[in-house]
């Protein structure tokens, strides 16, 4: 289980992360609070390796 069972109703794992949606960050990026929580389903290739791509 990933993160204590985080996933969809079929048991497929998911990953929660935070990211910015804009391509340019104004000022110091460490002090720019404009990040959003994202959720991504983790898929696997035929060798059972995770694919972290959208």
Instruction: Kindly report the pTM of this predicted structure.
Output: 0.56
* Tens-digit pLDDT profile for residues 1-53: 344 557 777 777 888 888 888 888 888 877 878 888 888 888 889 998 988 77
User: How many angstroms separate the CA atoms of 11 and 8, rounded?
Assistant: 5
Contact 13, 42 (CB under 8 A): yes
CA 27 distance to own-chain centroid: 25
């Amino acid at each position: 289980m990933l993160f204590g069972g985080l996933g969809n109703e079929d048991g497929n794992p998911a990953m929660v992360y935070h990211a910015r949606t804009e391509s340019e960050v104004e000022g110091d990026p460490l002090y720019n609070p404009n990040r959003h929580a994202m959720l991504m389903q983790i898929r696997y290739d035929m060798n059972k390796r995770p694919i972290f791509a959208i």
